[in-house]
């Protein structure tokens, strides 16, 4: 069975060639709802426009990285000491607005528990890996690149000793 090429899947018709039935659902949603201002809208989303300039730089907030670390259970204290040094390094770096780490200590109950306002459930089993999350906010992509390079040069070996696998990084613009 032949697999279609990536470029063929991404190819789209120009907006001039599209009819109302041929537009994909996301484009239709944004053209019909987001670009038309809603009267007395409390959210700022009605001011966004998806037509014309697709560069979101300047309109959105700062650049954000969320990174999920899976740490070896016997290396959690070493990782937490490392995080303290990394936070100090990053907070002193130009262009960094905020650096926060959290350790996963709870899990959600079922949806009914959440609807009833019941608290999350504390983790009790000995984990195969301990999850930590980094929230890192910077002025822009350039500051992120420079700060990441500096941090990796100083702390890469220490991170590699503590981690089970490569961290999962999520990068993007802050919108609220």
Look at residue 133 and tell me if it is in a domain: yes
Rounded Cα distance between 130 and 136, Å, is 20
**88 and 167 within one domain:** yes
**74 and 36 within one domain:** no
Look at residue 132 and tell me if it is in a domain: yes
Burial annotation 12-35 (CB, 10 A radius, 16+ → b, else e): eeeeeeeeeeebeeeeeeeeeebe
Per residue of the chain (176 residues), what is the pLDDT tens digit?
Answer: 454 444 433 343 333 343 443 444 444 433 443 333 344 434 333 333 333 333 444 435 799 999 999 999 999 999 999 999 999 999 999 999 999 999 999 999 898 988 999 999 999 998 899 999 999 999 999 999 999 999 999 999 999 999 999 999 999 999 88
**108 and 77 within one domain:** yes
Report which of 115, 117, 113, 84 is spatially closest to residue 101, judged by C-alpha positions. 84
Domain containing 38 equals: 15-54
Q: What is the pLDDT of residue 72?
A: 97
**132 and 67 within one domain:** yes
**94 and 155 within one domain:** yes
Look at residue 119 and tell me if it is in a domain: yes
Q: Is residue 138 within 8 Å of residue 144, measured between CB atoms?
A: yes
Report which of 30, 75, 29, 28 is spatially closest to residue 49, judged by C-alpha positions. 30
**155 and 75 within one domain:** yes
Residues facing 42 on adjacent strands: none
CA 148 remoteness from chain centre: 16
Question: pTM here?
Answer: 0.64
Give the CATH number of the domain where residue 121 resides. Answer: 3.30.70.100
User: What is the tens place of the pLDDT at every residue in 90-100?
Assistant: 999 999 999 99
Q: Is residue 172 within 8 Å of residue 56, measured between CB atoms?
A: no
- The number of folded domains in the chain is 2
Give the HSE-up count for residue 86: Cα atoms under 13 Å, Cβ half-sphere.
Answer: 23
Rounded Cα distance between 176 and 68, Å, is 21
Task: State the alpha helices, DSSP H only, in the chain.
Answer: 6-10, 25-29, 76-92, 111-115, 141-162
Q: Is 170 exposed, middle or buried (0-12, 13-18, 19+ CB in 10 A)?
A: exposed
**151 and 70 within one domain:** yes
**80 and 145 within one domain:** yes
Residues facing 133 on adjacent strands: 68, 102
């Amino acid at each position: 069975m032949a697999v279609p090429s990536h470029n063929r899947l991404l190819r789209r018709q120009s907006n001039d060639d599209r009819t109302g039935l041929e537009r994909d659902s996301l484009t239709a949603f944004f053209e019909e709802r987001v670009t038309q201002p809603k009267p007395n809208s409390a959210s700022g989303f009605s001011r966004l426009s998806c037509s014309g300039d697709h560069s979101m730089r300047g309109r959105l907030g700062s650049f954000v990285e969320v990174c999920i670390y899976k740490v070896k259970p016997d290396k959690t204290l070493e990782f937490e000491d490392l995080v303290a040094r990394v936070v100090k390094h990053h907070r002193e770096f130009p262009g960094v607005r905020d650096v926060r780490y959290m350790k996963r200590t709870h899990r959600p109950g079922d949806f009914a528990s959440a609807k009833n306002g019941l608290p999350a459930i504390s983790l009790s089993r000995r984990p195969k890996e301990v999850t930590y999350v980094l929230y890192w906010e910077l002025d822009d992509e350039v500051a992120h690149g420079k700060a990441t390079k500096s941090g990796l040069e100083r702390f890469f070996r220490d991170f590699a000793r503590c981690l089970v696998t490569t961290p999962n990084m999520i990068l993007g613009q802050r919108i609220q």
